[in-house]
Structure 1
Amino acid sequence: MYSSILVALDGSETSHQALDVALRLARENQALLHPLYVIDMPGIAFGTPGFNPVPLRDALRDDGERVIADARDRMATLRINGNPRIVDTSAPSEDIAQRIQLSALECHADLIVMGTHGRRGFRRLVLGSVAERVVRDAPCPVLLIPAGALLPDGGDTASSPAEKERS
């Protein structure tokens, strides 16, 4: 049984599926749900003379606000309690995976739910895998939702309120 679940969101279809699963688990376990969006400024933003990182950070924050607002709305519809939030990495020493792990500790998560993007080969080698790094040092179990996963119908959790209105 879970009492606190952290779900890492990035606005992708895979993270939307991870939210579906996390909502279902939170409802079934009467657990707190903590949707998390991490803003990670690239290292180049801090070391390049003349580069103004503010517009990039603002765009990332706007995306995070949209993603977290959707999660908050869906939680309210299902009467699931928790703390949706946006956090920043502490650049340049901290990456997204570390920030997810620290956030899981802060909210006493029993489970981390996150999507994977399914990168393989050279793209994975170059880009790395946030999910893999989270799993490696996670303070609790991690449930990975693979890209393109066919999830069983979870009833009310599968769609955002806006999508339900269109149906």
Structure 2
Amino acid sequence: MYKRILAPIDGSETSTRAFESALRIAREFGAQLVPLYVVDVSIAGADAPGYDPTIVRDALLEEGSRVNAEARAKMAREHVAGTPRIVETSPLGDDISHSILRVANEWSADLVVMGTHGRRGFRRLILGSVAERFLRISLCPVLLIPAGDTTREATPS
């Protein structure tokens, strides 16, 4: 049923859980899997003295390479085909969710598997949700994998 699965990853526990699910699905269906790391260097703060976006960009590209290498190793152990990718958001208003959509459309993904932190109320309003934004614009099925224990968020520490 699924031949091309896209899994946005960012190194967080939540995206790792989603990637593990995508890996299982890809193995079961004999599908190709593309782990996708999106580099988003916001232009906010660009007018601040001494701001150098290349430092942030280089750090994010390095992190993306590390996260993709881990994904590639897991895929090799599970004998799942595919090639991890790194893409960058466009400085002209392209956000992470639209970057994921662009790759999903270019690659003709059958399924996108992504993590969600399950934030509610004020935290979601302030922090936003890449998963929610992507879900609203996606042209293919999306499987959202929740964070490990969403009850922790409701309990003050």
User: Does TM, normalized by the shorter one, top 0.5?
Assistant: yes
Tell whether the 8 Å contact from 1:6 to 1:36 is kept in structure 2 after alignment: yes
Q: Give secondary structure in 1 for the equivalent of 2:68.
A: helix
Give the equivalent residue in structure 2 for 1:142: 142
Are residue 68 (structure 1) and residue 68 (structure 2) matched?
A: yes
Give the equivalent residue in structure 1 for 2:30: 30
Are residue 132 (structure 1) and residue 144 (structure 2) matched?
A: no
Q: Give secondary structure in 2 for the equivalent of 1:42.
A: coil
Give the equivalent residue in structure 2 for 1:161: none
Tell whether the 8 Å contact from 1:7 to 1:112 is kept in structure 2 after alignment: yes
User: Any idea what the Cα deviations from partners look like across 1:73-114, whole Å, max 9, x if unmatched?
Assistant: 111111111121111001131000000011101111000000
Letter in 2 for 1:131: A
Letter in 1 for 2:86: I
User: Any idea what the Cα deviations from partners look like across 1:52-76, whole Å, max 9, x if unmatched?
Assistant: 1111111111111111000001111
Give the equivalent residue in structure 2 for 1:9: 9
Tell whether the 8 Å contact from 1:43 to 1:92 is kept in structure 2 after alignment: no
Q: Distance in 1 between matches of 2:123 and 2:92?
A: 22
Deviation at 1:29, TM superposition (A): 0.4
Q: Give secondary structure in 2 for the equivalent of 1:83.
A: coil
Tell whether the 8 Å contact from 1:8 to 1:36 is kept in structure 2 after alignment: yes
Give the equivalent residue in structure 1 for 2:54: 54
User: What is the root-mean-square deviation in Å for CA atoms of aligned residues?
Assistant: 1.5
Are residue 98 (structure 1) and residue 98 (structure 2) matched?
A: yes
Runs of 4 or more, structure 1, over 6 Å off, are none
Change (3 A) 1:149 1:33: farther
The answer to which of 46-55 and 56-65 deviates more is 46-55
Tell me the TM-score normalized by structure 2. 0.90
Deviation at 1:6, TM superposition (A): 0.1
Give the equivalent residue in structure 2 for 1:153: none
Identity of aligned residues (%): 56
Q: Tell me how many residue pairs correspond in the alignment.
A: 150
Q: Distance in 2 between matches of 1:93 and 1:47?
A: 17
User: Any idea what the Cα deviations from partners look like across 1:1-54, whole Å, max 9, x if unmatched?
Assistant: 100000010110011111110010001000010000000011215444541111
The answer to which of 114-123 and 47-56 deviates more is 47-56
